[in-house]
Amino acid sequence: MEQGTNKQQSSFWTVKKTEYGWIKAQDAFALKVAPAWFDFVGRLLILGALRYLMDHGNNRFVTIIIYVLSLGIFYFYLQSLLYNFPYQARFSKTV
């Protein structure tokens, strides 16, 4: 911090909101995150079921192909989900 300046950046924790404002922000967050979270968990469960079939199934070749294909598709899904996740860079410096 430069000497002689008394600038203080507002932090997430020092923002003054009313109770209604906090509830509204929490609701907006939950409505955005919940569908993506349960979609993510569902995909994990599908991959787990495919892994179980691969370990205990009779036709291992087909199960391995399906598992590897699903894992690759899941990788690209996760990459796009995290790339499009709405976040704000709080600690980045603008030039």
Is it the case that residue 20 has pLDDT exceeding 70?
Answer: yes
Amino acid identity for residue 62 in this structure: V
Tell me if 20 is assigned to some domain.
Answer: no
Higher pLDDT, 88 or 43: 43
Report the residue count for the chain: 95
Tell me if 37 is assigned to some domain.
Answer: yes
- In whole angstroms, give the CA distance from residue 42 to residue 80: 17
Query: How many CA atoms within 13 Å lie on the side-chain side of 21?
Result: 4
Per-residue confidence (pLDDT) for residue 45, from 0 to 100: 92
Long-range CB pairs of 29-35, under 8 A, 24+ apart, other chains included: 32/86
Tell me if 69 is assigned to some domain.
Answer: yes
Mean pLDDT of 6-35: 75
Question: What pLDDT, in 10s, does the model give residues 27-68?
Answer: 888 888 888 888 889 989 988 888 888 788 788 788 788 888
Which of 4-13, 71-80, 82-91 reaches the highest mean pLDDT?
71-80
Domain count, the chain: 1
pLDDT band at 92 (very low <50, low <70, confident <90, very high): low
Helix, coil or strand: residue 17: coil
Domain containing 65 equals: 33-85
pTM: 0.49
Tell me if 21 is assigned to some domain.
Answer: no
